[in-house]
Amino acid sequence: MPSRVIRQIPWATLRVRLTIWNTAVVLLAIFCSLGAVRLGARAALFREADLVLQGEVAEIVLALRDRATSNDQIVNELERKMTGHEARGWFTQFIDKSDKTIWKSPSCPDLVTQFPITKDRQTNLVQIEGFRFARETVVGPSGELFHIRIGMPTAFLEEDIDSLSRLLVPIGLLLGILTPLGGYWLALRATAPIAGIIKTADRLRPTRMGDRLLLRGSGDELDRLSLTINRLLDQLASHIERQEEFVANAAHELRSPLAAIQSSLEVAILQPRTAIDYQASLEDVLEQTRHLSKLVNDLMLLAESATQQKLDTAETTDFKRVVESVVSMFTGVAEEQGISLIFSATHDAFVAGNMVQLRQVVSNLIDNAIRFTPHGGQISLQIDSGETNQDICLRVIDTGSGIAKEHLDRVFDRFYQSNSGRDRSVVRRGGGLGLAICKSIVEAHGGSISIESQPGKGTTILVRLLKTEPQSPRPLISAG
């Protein structure tokens, strides 16, 4: 099914979305930072003003305690103290315990004068509509309690804050202009490897799988993604290569018997012949047809096992009995060729698998061994538990002429046939699919298959399958 073509929308690209996200996050951080600077500066200015007010109040209270002997002296001391601060708008108010103003400086606003003393008893600092003042209680010469307020307008503090704001606004605007550009640059750098991946992927074709993604060596997620895609491309290229080789070999193997059948039939009908000649031609056609039928069956079995990477259903199988039955089936064939077929097992062998497919594996291995073992030779099948006692191992050992070392890596390839080092008079015709089918089935069962061979001494094929416990027989249900 062809993939749906995705129409690219410019504003919906990952690069644009990253730019928008980067810009939004940075602008939010900038505005929050500028706001925090303004709030921090305002808090610092007011904190400094509070410290100054509290210091002035404490200084006045200390001076009054040492020198004031009457209310008039208190007023004189307050007037003297405020002389140097009136230019800055500072003010003072002297209040008795009944909330009556005894004296106030000319700059003292009515808002402060009218503010009841009872409302600021809980705190020494008060803020009201543009003014801020500190309060302290003193004991007069006659032992009476008085209250002193010293304050200032906050307008000059707000002016300083406004000046800072006027400085921060153009900075924020400048950063607001530069941020999208920086965000786009960052998005461009972040998506550059992705653009390379897309460009390389666009060049890939089933007939052109040589291109690979460039690894930058940074070790980041994009590098790991590129490495993963490269591994996938390697597997795809290898699979396509094997498929092409398989198709070519299958076509070649199918063409040979078909050509032989066609040739036999053409010769038979070329001119009238005797019944014996026709019978010979038909026997030749029958032999080629049988070979063709076996080849097609092997191809279907191989295709089925190749697509089945893991068994869908598996049952506990007595592998020892499977091997025994296959050996019994091939005993007559081996004896006809003067070959001794021996089977031995050290103990029971139970595996989880498909009994029919496992029989196919054993049959292919024995058939392959018989085809390459000369008259008077021996084929031995042995079952044991392996080194770890976790597997079931089947060894098929023949005394044939063996396989050269350079051919061992390819004996499990489809259609691969090597007669190197073998007696050609012994070898019967085969399709080159037997061992490939064995490998595919064994791996689908979660096992492995390997081969060892020495020219002139023989060949050993080792099959490893996962061991399982035998199923307990179901108890009979009593009718009573």
Sequential DSSP letters for 70-131: SHHHHHHHHHHHHTTTGGGT-EEEEEETTS-EEEE-TT--HHHHTS-GGGGTT-SEEEETTE
- Is 445 exposed, middle or buried, given 0-12, 13-18 or 19+ CB atoms closer than 10 A? buried
User: Where do you find CATH 3.30.450.160 in the chain?
Assistant: 18-161
CATH class of 18-161: alpha beta
- Distance separating alpha carbons of residues 372 and 397, to the nearest angstrom: 12
- Distance separating alpha carbons of residues 212 and 197, to the nearest angstrom: 9
Instruction: State the amino acid at position 449 in one-letter form.
Output: I
Instruction: State the amino acid at position 16 in one-letter form.
Output: V
Does the global pTM surpass 0.75? no
| Tokens encoding 434 | 């037997």
DSSP structure class, residue 63: H
CATH number of 311-466: 3.30.565.10
Are 236 and 209 spatial neighbours (Cβ–Cβ below 8 Å)?
A: yes
Listed in sequence order, the residues at least 6 apart from 397 whose beta carbon sits closer than 8 Å to its beta carbon are 379, 380, 381, 382, 458, 459, 460
454: which strand partners?
A: 458
Q: Please give the CATH topology (third level) of the domain spanning 221-305.
A: Helix Hairpins (1.10.287)
Q: How many residues does the chain have?
A: 480
- Distance separating alpha carbons of residues 390 and 315, to the nearest angstrom: 18
User: Where do you find CATH 3.30.565.10 in the chain?
Assistant: 311-466
- Distance separating alpha carbons of residues 110 and 128, to the nearest angstrom: 11
Helix (H/G/I), strand (E/B), else coil: 179: helix
Which residue, chain included where needed, has tokens 């191992």? 393
Which residue, chain included where needed, has tokens 């049952």? 315
- Distance separating alpha carbons of residues 398 and 461, to the nearest angstrom: 9
User: Where do you find CATH 1.10.287.130 in the chain?
Assistant: 221-305
| Tokens encoding 153 | 């307008």
Question: What does the pLDDT profile of the chain (480 residues) look like in tens digits?
Answer: 445 545 555 566 777 888 888 888 888 988 898 889 989 998 898 888 888 888 888 877 777 776 666 777 777 777 777 776 666 778 888 888 777 888 888 888 888 877 877 655 545 788 888 888 888 877 766 777 788 888 888 888 888 888 888 888 888 888 888 888 888 888 888 877 788 778 877 877 777 777 777 777 777 787 888 888 888 888 888 878 777 777 776 776 677 678 878 887 887 888 787 888 888 888 888 887 877 787 777 777 666 665 555 555 668 889 999 999 999 999 988 999 999 999 998 888 899 888 888 988 998 899 889 988 999 999 999 999 877 778 899 999 999 888 888 888 888 877 766 655 444 444 445 556 778 888 888 888 889 999 999 888 899 999 999 888 886 544 444 443
